[in-house]
Amino acid sequence: MDALKPHAENRCFGGTVGFYKHTSQECGGEMRFAVYLPPQAQAGKVPVLYYLSGLTCTEDTFLIKGGAQQLAAELGLMLVVPDTSPRQTGIPKEDADWEVGTAAGFYLDATQAPWASRFRMYSYVTRELPELVGKHFPARMDREGIFGHSMGGHGALVCALRQPGRYRSVSAFAPISAPMRCPWGQKAFGTYLGADTEAWRAWDATELLRGGARVPPLLVDQGTNDKFLAEQLKPELLRAACEQAGQPLTLRSQDGYDHGYYFVSTFMADHLRHHAAALNA
Amino acid sequence: MDALKPHAENRCFGGTVGFYKHTSQECGGEMRFAVYLPPQAQAGKVPVLYYLSGLTCTEDTFLIKGGAQQLAAELGLMLVVPDTSPRQTGIPKEDADWEVGTAAGFYLDATQAPWASRFRMYSYVTRELPELVGKHFPARMDREGIFGHSMGGHGALVCALRQPGRYRSVSAFAPISAPMRCPWGQKAFGTYLGADTEAWRAWDATELLRGGARVPPLLVDQGTNDKFLAEQLKPELLRAACEQAGQPLTLRSQDGYDHGYYFVSTFMADHLRHHAAALNA
């Protein structure tokens, strides 16, 4: 494997957390990502589990707050965590609104100026980043799983629904269920994809399910005390879409939990075991 | 118990993380701390484990990065985490230097102006905060343990060494071992305690050991790739002081680990079990 040198590296649970930056073709400039290599990666290739983070996060949020490395080390899973968008693109007002622009890439390929040339997070996350990982890390590229939180939980669903058969395992923490039907999604899709809502359907998990896409059995956790639950997340729309589609879904309502990483970390072990069951099979 | 209302609260591993602020007598103004209540605290009193954080940290650092709540929930330990100093005291240049002043209280009682009236972290951590915890939380105050990281690792040692018999369990991650003999300690002690180095001995773990103080068997982890190891931490001085004093010490050298929370979290479970063995006995 060619060397890809991390700009920071920390030993963690017998493996290493590494932070990388590179020039992305898809995103037309620098992109950052983080990788946790479990101890098993010293001896051979291991499955790859992508984690897509939510609004305002960076590539290090999950590794600091998620509490995943201990069990990933035990299960032998590589964790790959991209940043949530390109940064310092020079696009006017890219940092002006936390719901769109920097750290709000929504894991889609923008079609509208001035975003279209840089905000191509779907192609980055599903094609360019995996190619880089396959080239530079001891990754079993035939064994990929994907999960995420909030914007990234929806991103994980869409990445999998758009590529049936690719990801062996999929799960989400408090995902945006139907971006076409919530303010976060409507703002982002209007900005990145334009006013024609027909074009939005290809990037909405519930619409993809309605269109016939299927993925491995889904695990989704949602806190009942999540302040974004009713207005933005709407898990009932995901449940209805899965029921109508015959898509297996385990949607768990977690009493009293909120939207943050104290919630995510609490149920991290269940998600990692869900992925390992498929990835290590 | 009287109500002490958290300004933020998050459900976590079946218990709750709560963040509190109150007017401290010892520190002459507002102080902040955080508490993790394990699920067992809903049914009765539980042992209390204090965690003292390092330079630049706040009361939430450990709960976000330490990865302790999962096992604390299993073991039934309450975690109590004070801030690292008073803040916004009005003392000139309190924020000017990360090694002294704000977030650098060093868990001692300052004697020098202008610090003496506010920087009384030792009395705060060992007397006022425990009284508050005993009054407002379901705490078994006859079962206290203490640990910490770096500046707070040394703080934990000193709190225990100054009160033989009080804490049932003590441990540290990468502690400053002998502040009188390293730049961090010399700067802080000179600032808070004045030029007379005789007065420093009462706040230096190795000097307290030399003076005859003893604590329960110590567990200390130290990464070999810690950039502060040789100049600031000097675990060999702690080892020598313990050997000379006959103080039981398990000092573990962890290959390749650095000074941060990727290191701390990796060995958190060992420390929590060390404390639980004494606190739950």
Q: Which residues contact A224 (CB under 8 A, 6 or more apart)?
A: A253, A254, A255, A256, A257
Marked catalytic residue, from A24, A85, A150, A177: A150
User: In angstroms, rounded to a whole number, what is the distance separating the alpha carbons of residues B136 and B110?
Assistant: 28
Would you say residue A231 has pLDDT above 50? yes
Structure tokens at A161: 């629904």
The confidence score (pLDDT) of residue B91 equals: 97
- What is the length of chain B? 281
pLDDT tens-digit profile of A87-115? 999 999 999 999 999 999 999 999 999 99
Rounded CA-CA distance A31/A133 in Å is 14
Mean pLDDT of the A234-251 span: 98
List the Cα angle B140/B46/B44 in 5-degree steps: 100
Across the range B188-213, mean pLDDT stands at: 98
Q: What is the dihedral of CA A179, A183, A188, A194, to 10 degrees?
A: 90
Chain A neighbors of B11, CB-CB under 8 A: 223, 225, 256-258, 262-263, 266
How much of chain A exceeds pLDDT 70, in percent? 99
Q: How do residues B84-100 score in pLDDT, each as one tens digit? A: 999 999 999 999 999 99
Q: Is the pLDDT of residue A86 over 70?
A: yes
The tens digit of pLDDT for each residue in B109-128 reads: 999 999 999 999 999 999 99
The answer for A 12-51 residues in CB contact with B (under 8 A) is 12-14, 17
Which one of B149, B259, B274, B275 is the catalytic residue? B259
Domains of chain B: 6-280 (3.40.50.1820)
Mean predicted confidence (pLDDT) in A148-173: 98
Please give the average per-residue pLDDT across A170-189, as a whole number.
Answer: 98
**pLDDT above 60: residue B255:** yes
Contact between chains at A262 and B11 (C-beta distance less than 8 A): yes
- Asked whether the beta carbons of B24 and B15 are under 8 A apart, the reply is no
Q: A68 to chain B: which residues are within 8 Å by CB? A: none
Burial of B273 (0-12, 13-18, 19+ CB in 10 A): middle
> A130-144: per-residue pLDDT in tens?
999 999 999 999 999
The helix (H) or strand (E) run that includes residue A149 is strand A139-149
Specify whether the CB–CB gap between A206 and A241 falls below 8 A: yes
Q: Identify whether the C-beta of residue B60 lies closer than 8 Å to the C-beta of residue B19.
A: yes
**Cβ of B65 and A64 within 8 Å?**
yes
- What are the backbone angles phi and psi of residue B211, rounded to the nearest 5°? -80, 0
- pLDDT above 60 (res A226): yes
d(CA B203, CA B176) in angstroms, rounded, equals: 12
Cα B167 to chain centroid distance, Å, stands at 12
Average pLDDT, chain A: 97
Provide, as residue numbers in chain B, all residues whose Cβ is less than 8 Å from the Cβ of A67: 67, 70, 265
- pTM, to two decimals: 0.96
Residue A251 has pLDDT above 80, yes or no: yes
Does the structure show a pLDDT above 80 at B28? yes
N-to-C CA span, chain B: 26
Output DSSP code: residue B164: T
Min Cα separation A44/chain B (Å): 20
Is B149 an annotated catalytic residue?
A: no
User: Which element (helix H / strand E) includes B218?
Assistant: strand B218-223
| pLDDT for the residue numbered B1 | 46
Pair of tokens at residue B33: 């701390």
Percent of chain B whose pLDDT exceeds 90: 99
In this complex, which of A69, A223, A262 lies closest to B17 when CB atoms are compared?
Answer: A262
Residue B3, pLDDT score? 61
User: Does A223 lie at the interface with B, CB-CB under 8 angstroms?
Assistant: yes
Q: What is the mean pLDDT of residues B245-263?
A: 98
Shortest Cα distance, chain B CAs vs residue A11, angstroms: 5
Per-residue confidence (pLDDT) for residue A206, from 0 to 100: 98
**Given the residues B24, B53, B150, B177, the one annotated as active site:** B150
| Whole-number average pLDDT of chain B | 97
Looking at the partner chain, which of B11, B13, B261 has a beta carbon nearest the beta carbon of A225? Answer: B11
Peptide bond between residue A92 and the one before it cis (omega within 30 degrees of 0): no
**Rounded CA gap, A162 and A171, in Å?**
15
Q: Which residue in chain B has the smallest CA separation from A11?
A: B257
CB contact under 8 A, B69 and A263: no
B169 has catalytic annotation:
no
Residue A2 has pLDDT above 90, yes or no: no
Quick one: pLDDT at residue B41? 98
**Is B259 part of the annotated catalytic residue set?**
yes
By DSSP bridging, strand A29-37 and strand A78-82 are antiparallel
In angstroms, the CA B162 to CA B164 distance is 6
pLDDT above 60: residue B245: yes
CA–CA gap between residue B28 and residue B253 (Å, rounded):
40
A1 pLDDT exceeds 70? Answer: no
The reported pLDDT for the residue numbered A4 is: 87
